[in-house]
């Protein structure tokens, strides 16, 4: 079974600085997708960024970027120029590429990010 | 702005009562997921529908939980009878069912069973 591990229960960063959240996963699959979701205090789960395992290029969405190391099974999230609105719980998630039969997400336990003014 | 709609946002009930949570997926999405979030277990899948048919409900306690999709615009999750250990946030998510099948989440239902 696939597992996702986020080793940092909590992280903090100063406003305008950069922070990296770690995520590792375990799978025997070669094709899969990886996601980072953000959950602010409002409880809404918001997709931040996604990565297809077959793509070597790291995904980027504005201030958010990932460092995807397939061989190491590592998928870290970098937030640049941190803003107060980035404060939230961040979840790393895995989904196998199963040809359409099973799209379920496997989540890590989350990292609580605090942004200090 | 298309979004997944869940009702109610909050529900407080007494042990033994029936609880029904509803979800309206994004129009055109044919996959629907129910997840439960607790402090201890984190986010875990309860059930998954594709084209209204249940494909995976292995994470759902069958004796008290049931999930259905009466039509393409409504998914329901029922608990009967409810127990205090069912207290959690229940999320519904929907996706297009192709390619990445990005899952878009509703705001969740916070359930408290006293």
For residue A101, pLDDT over 60 is answered with no
Angle CA(A99)–CA(A104)–CA(A109) in degrees, nearest 5? 140
Please check the confidence at residue A99 and state whether its pLDDT lies above 70: no
Quick one: which of A65, A39, A40, A62 has its CA closest to A50?
A65
What φ, ψ does residue B28 adopt, rounded to 5°?
A: 95, -15
Position with higher pLDDT, A84 vs B1: A84
Nearest to A43 among B42, B89, B101 (CB): B89
- The per-residue DSSP string of A21-35 comes to E--EEE-S-SSEEEE
Write the pLDDT tens digit of every residue in A58-95. Answer: 999 999 999 999 999 999 999 999 999 999 999 999 99
- Please say if the pLDDT value at position B48 is more than 60: yes
Q: What is the pLDDT of residue A24?
A: 97
Over residues A30-63, the pLDDT tens digits come to 889 999 999 999 888 999 999 999 988 999 999 9
Residue A98: predicted pLDDT: 66
Closest alpha carbon within chain B to A40: B107
Give B113: exposed, middle or buried? Use CB within 10 Å, 0-12, 13-18, 19+. buried
At B89-106, the pLDDT tens digits run 999 999 987 766 789 999
| Chain B residues whose beta carbon lies within 8 Å of the beta carbon of residue A52 | 100
Mind telling me how many Å the CA of B66 is from chain A's nearest CA?
Answer: 18
Measured between alpha carbons, how far is B77 from A76 in angstroms, rounded to an integer? Answer: 34
């Amino acid at each position: 079974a696939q597992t996702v591990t986020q080793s940092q229960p909590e992280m903090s960063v100063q406003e305008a600085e950069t922070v990296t959240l770690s995520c590792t996963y375990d799978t025997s699959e070669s094709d899969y997708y990886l996601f980072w979701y953000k959950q602010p205090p409002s409880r809404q789960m918001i997709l931040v960024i996604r990565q297809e395992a077959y793509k070597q290029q790291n995904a980027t969405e504005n201030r958010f970027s990932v460092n995807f190391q397939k061989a190491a099974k590592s998928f870290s999230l970098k937030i640049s120029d941190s803003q107060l609105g980035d404060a939230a719980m961040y979840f790393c998630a895995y989904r196998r590429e199963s040809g359409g039969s099973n799209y379920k997400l496997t989540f890590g336990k989350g990292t609580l990010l605090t942004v200090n003014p | 702005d298309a979004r997944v709609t869940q009702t109610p946002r909050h529900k407080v009930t007494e042990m033994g009562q029936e609880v029904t949570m509803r979800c309206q997926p994004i129009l055109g999405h044919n996959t629907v997921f129910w997840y439960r979030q607790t402090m201890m277990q984190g986010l875990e899948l309860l059930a998954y529908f594709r084209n209204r048919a249940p494909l995976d409900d292995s994470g759902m306690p069958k004796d008290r939980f049931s999930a259905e999709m009466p039509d393409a615009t409504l998914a329901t999750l029922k608990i009967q009878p409810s127990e205090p250990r069912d207290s959690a946030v229940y999320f519904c998510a929907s996706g297009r069912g192709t390619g990445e099948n990005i899952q878009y989440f509703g705001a969740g239902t916070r359930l408290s069973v006293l």
